[in-house]
Structure formats: C-alpha cells, structure tokens
Amino acid sequence: MKMKAAVLYELNKPLVVEEVDIEHPKDGEVLVKLAASGVCHSDLSAITGVLKKPLPVILGHEGAGVVAEVGPGVKNVKVGDHVVISWIASCGQCAYCIEGKPRLCPSAAKVRAEGTLPDGTKRLSINGQTISHSGGVSSFAEYCVVAESSAIPIRKDAPLDKAALVGCAVLTGVGTALNGAKVQPGSTVAVIGAGGVGLNVIQGSQLAGAEKIIAVDLADSKLEMAKFFGATHTVNSGKVDPVQAIKGLTGGLGVDYVIEVIGLPQTVGLAFDSIKKGGSVTLIGMPDASVTWNMPILEMIRKEAIVQGSYYGNAVERVDIPKYMDLYMAGKLKLDELISKFYTLDEINTVFKDMEKGEIARGMIIL
C-alpha cells in the first residue's frame, strides 16, 4: 500500500516528504490510519543524532488514529477502534511486563534500538529500500503498522488530535508526577524545564494536590504558560540564582520533590541542591548517552536524598492512557492548550524550525 510520509535520510538534514510503501500487518500487528501526530523534542534529537536511530527512518512516536486492519492473532483491538499509539512495543510475557512495568521490557528496547517491529523485520520501504520504524511507531505518516501492545483503545468521543499528546508528552509528564515521583497532597514541587513535558509534570503535580509548584526555566513566555497549567510560582534561572529562589519560597528548606526535564548535568545538580533533607529528585530529561553527573555521595547520605529516574511516566499504558483521556473529557486535564500550532505533514520541517527558535511548545501534525 502507498502512503505519504516524512523520511529522515541524513542527520541534520531536512526530512523528505514522499510516497512510501507500507505492508499489511502481520501476526500480532495492527494497521492504524493516523489522524494526528505530535512533534516531540526527542524527534529533533533524532535528527541531530543525540538520540541514535538507524537511517533512513520515518520519525514520530506521539500519534493517534483509527484501526484500519488487524493481523492474525490480534485480540485486544478491532477495526474501527480509536487508539493512542504507545512507543513501548512490550512483549507482555517477560518479567518486567508481568510485574506491571511494560516500559522496561527488553523486547521493546530492542525494537527502539533496531528500528524494527517486534519480529525483527520492517514494514516500510521505498523502491525496495527498507525504512526503519521509530520507536515501533513512525507517526510522521498517513498510516503506521504497530505491535498490538502499542495500540491502546480509547473512548470514541475524544478528539484524536488532542489524544495524540497522551502517547508521549502527557503520559510522561503527568505520569512522572503521579507514578514516578509520587507527589503527595500538600507537598512542595519544583519542575525544571517548562516545555511540553514540563507543563504536564506541572499539571500532574496539581492533580496530585501539591500545595506549592515552582516552575524553573530560562524563558519568561514558558513560565507564563506554566502558571496557566498550575504553577504557583516561577523562577527565571537566567535572571536569579534558582536554588536560592526555590529555598526562599520554602522557608530556606528546599522542596519535597524536584522533577528535572532537561537532562543536563548542571540542571541535575540544580535539582539536587534544591531539595530539602529527605527530598527526592526525579530525572526524565533525555540526554546523549555519554552525559554523566558527579554524585555528591556524602551529601546524599546526610540529606537522605533520593535520586531516581522515571521512564515514560512509570506508566502501564493500557491503564493510564484511557484514564488520562477520561480526565481530559471531564475537564480535569488540559490538552487543547498544550498545542501551540497545527501543521500539515508537508510543513514538517517548519515545525522543527519553530521548535528550535523556541516559538512553540508542541506542534501538532494533522494527517
């Protein structure tokens, strides 16, 4: 079958929008007609080579659409279902999946690393040349073939262009606050980075009942947006010492929780310095694999500090994605306001230019 898609052939080069061949789904796979795809900073990191992808590749991992066809053996979705796509193609059988941690599934990690679907093969090609899948998804396209575990059914009255956000930014941000950091009612939280994921950490912390939510960023425009999503205070770390500002807002103690969304050693250090004794730092920013942080061991012991990672919002997708859609439909979760601008697939390179300029938090491709 033919479809239009955006292909990355070389690092730091524009994506090429062209006609691509996509095969029908095989055993345990689902063909989805995509309605929308969010553009994540991780996609930009793939273009620059910070996140490694086997080339050529169709990027995009934050999508939603309607099931168009199912392969043999598919049990949990049917043609016509509305689905949010998860980039965790979990096997459902390993120890991590059985423990309720599908995001840690080794099979899913292999799919992401090798640019394939779970059986080790690809469904995408141009003139006989195979094209890699991104995260087992590849949503910068009119269709995608995904593992059944990646197609999460949602209610049909939810708008698919908003639902797409739940596949990455919302699940990661809200999930980290609720499931990863486990923010408690009445607590104090600092969120370092007020982009698309950071805004969701903020609204997740608000959902958890945090009493004080401090957004930290370099851009005043992002900090203003953070207030709209639930931040009670903001700190521009380019204008003031952020650690002193955070401590000044918490009686000199520091906060109970810091959630770091940037992934740089200096912001991780800032996060650690900003927690109170007994506080925790949760890291979700995705740096290059070579990035490290020198851990202050004695201070960690004396502060009884917790430093932990959170991957994909510590989510169980089949539980959390429908739940977040219900919260949105009940008016308790903001999705519409996360989208800075809508684009067509032909405008895909414009989205990345706007992202690099800092003009958008989240661009949405309508397919």
Pairing type for strands 341-344 and 255-260 reads unpaired
pLDDT attached to residue 351: 96
pLDDT attached to residue 359: 79
pLDDT attached to residue 234: 98
- Cβ(108)–Cβ(100) under 8 Å? no
Cα(127)–Cα(271) distance, integer angstroms: 49
- For the whole model, what pTM was predicted? 0.94
Query: 107 vs 27, 42, 43, 342, 363, CA distance in Å?
Result: 16, 21, 21, 34, 30
pLDDT attached to residue 360: 81
pLDDT attached to residue 361: 78
Cα(168)–Cα(197) distance, integer angstroms: 8
- Cβ(271)–Cβ(296) under 8 Å? no
pLDDT attached to residue 363: 94
Instruction: Give the alpha-carbon dihedral of 176, 182, 186, 190, to 10 degrees.
Output: -40
pLDDT attached to residue 41: 87
Only one residue has tokens 């519409």, namely 336
pLDDT attached to residue 337: 94
pLDDT attached to residue 27: 98
Mean pLDDT by 10 residues, the chain (367 residues): 98 98 98 97 92 96 98 97 98 97 97 97 96 97 98 98 96 98 98 95 98 97 95 98 98 98 96 98 92 93 97 96 98 95 97 88 93
Cα(284)–Cα(48) distance, integer angstroms: 20
Only one residue has tokens 């730092």, namely 281
Cα(361)–Cα(355) distance, integer angstroms: 7
Three-state DSSP class for residue 98 = helix
DSSP per-residue codes, 184-237: -TT-EEEEE--SHHHHHHHHHHHHTT-SEEEEEES-HHHHHHHHHTT-SEEEET
Domains along the sequence of the chain with CATH: 2-167+334-366 (3.90.180.10), 173-310 (3.40.50.720)
